[in-house]
Amino acid sequence: MIDSSGVLPLAGFAVGITAARRADELGALLVRQGATVRYGPAIRIVPLADDTELHAATVRMLEEPVDVVVATTGIGFRGWVEAAEGWGLGEALVGQLGKASLLARGPKARGAIRAAGLSESYSPASESSAELLQHLLESGVEGQRIAVQLHGEPLPYFVESLREAGAEVIEVPVYRWVGPSDPGPLDRLIDAVLDGSVDAMPFTSAPAAASTLAMAKRTGRLAALVEALTHRVLVACVGPITAAPLAAVGIPTVQPERARIGALARTVSQALVERSPKLRAAGRLIELRGQAAVVDGQLCEVAPAPMAVLRALAREPGRVVSRRELTSALPSGGEEHAVETAIGRLRTSLGEGKLVQTVVKRGYRLAVER
């Protein structure tokens, strides 16, 4: 959607994406709204078709039939059936699945169940693991045997809640998340977050969030990254499970009502637009975006140092900000001369020299209308 000025809602914002699966889909949704996207995969998927754990879980389920099977992902459920076929157990597995009550976390899992010639008995409208768990607990699971297809990492809260309610749980690990084969893009994405050139970080899985924090910790940047994600960068998560590693270190997140990629992109867009400062100065309407400013409906690209100065001036529009304060606001610090240079570049970028006023011997202020 383009606003009345003709500027796309996310033009001027930079978004960092750490996802492995569906990164291109999420990126395309954000680019369509004008955002610049930087990719730094934090994880990769390792299939476990030959894994002894998956084979053992499958054989155990065939020897002792289960009452309920929870399919958490489409790719995982399909991979499980394909692996069983490779072992000569495909027909037997599908037969046992057909006798159980099949629960699907979302539409992809539903599609995989139906593709196997089966049908699900329940799928939550929210597509969330939390609602799926609530449905199971409310229906009563004491004495039941439940197989839970994992989606890349253990689901301790989900599994333990079922066990505490009296169920016997078989965990089915179909694939695992591991670190990226090339950590360079993620390393550079973290640098971009720290130098102020990334405005939002949407996460689609808990492993990606945990891996990003782990990379920062290994390289001595965890405290700085947590500070940036807490106070400056918008962090969005597709759901509460994804947000858990971030919440554990105090990073606040926004989440869509439905755990879907499209809803996540809309949440990022809405939140960035809502937090963008808007003010009137020298007769012009100015909107501050991540890496740019919109002046009377025209997008003006602004370099990092001038943009940092503009943000410092806009925190209290009209207040005179000293050169010393502005020096500390610069991304790499510097002398007062660096502030003068940044002010000059800012005036040029905005196309209006009167927007920023020089107050002799005191500093600078935005020419806001009182």
Maximum C-alpha span of the chain = 85
Q: Could you give the C-alpha distances from 278 to 151, 233, 349, in angstroms and in order?
A: 42, 18, 17
More confident residue, 301 or 156: 301
Average pLDDT over residues 173-202: 91
Q: Of 157-171, 196-210, 254-268, 320-334, where does mean pLDDT reach its minimum?
A: 320-334
Give the closest residue to 208 by CA, choosing from 9, 17, 338.
17
More confident residue, 175 or 229: 229
Q: Would you state the structure tokens that stand for residue 187, as one six-digit string? A: 């390393």
Neighbours of 70 (CB within 10 A): 29
Average pLDDT over residues 344-352: 89
User: What is the torsion angle, in degrees rounded to the nearest 10, for the CA atoms of residue 94, residue 98, residue 103 and residue 106?
Assistant: 50
Domains of the chain: 14-43+180-274 (3.40.50.10090), 46-177 (3.40.50.10090), 278-366 (1.10.10.10)
User: What is the torsion angle, in degrees rounded to the nearest 10, for the CA atoms of residue 353, residue 354, residue 357 and residue 358?
Assistant: 50
Site of tokens 């809405």? 270
Amino acid at 272: L
**Cα separation of 41 and 208, whole Å?**
8
Give 33's pLDDT tier (boundaries 50, 70, 90): very high
pLDDT for the residue 288: 92
Give 316's pLDDT tier (boundaries 50, 70, 90): confident
Give 176's pLDDT tier (boundaries 50, 70, 90): confident
CB-based contact 90:118 (threshold 8 Å): no
Average pLDDT over residues 38-47: 87
Q: Where are any strands of DSSP class E within 164-315? A: 168-178, 200-203, 234-237, 278-281, 284-288, 292-295, 298-301
- Summarised one tens digit per residue, pLDDT across range 18-30 is 988 788 999 999 9
| Averaged pLDDT of the chain | 89
pLDDT for the residue 4: 45
SS3 322: coil
Contacts for 49 with CB less than 8 Å, ≥ 6 apart: 79, 82, 83, 86
Average pLDDT over residues 87-115: 93
Rg (CA), the chain: 25
Q: Could you give the C-alpha distances from 67 to 5, 141, 170, 282, in angstroms and in order?
A: 58, 9, 11, 70
pLDDT for the residue 2: 46
Q: How many helices (H) and strands (E) does the chain have?
A: 15, 15
The reported pTM is 0.73
Give 266's pLDDT tier (boundaries 50, 70, 90): very high
In which order are the strands placed within the sheet that holds 284-288?
278-281, 284-288, 292-295, 298-301
- Summarised one tens digit per residue, pLDDT across range 50-62 is 578 889 999 999 9
pLDDT > 70? residue 155:
no
* Sign, CA torsion 305/322/287/224: positive
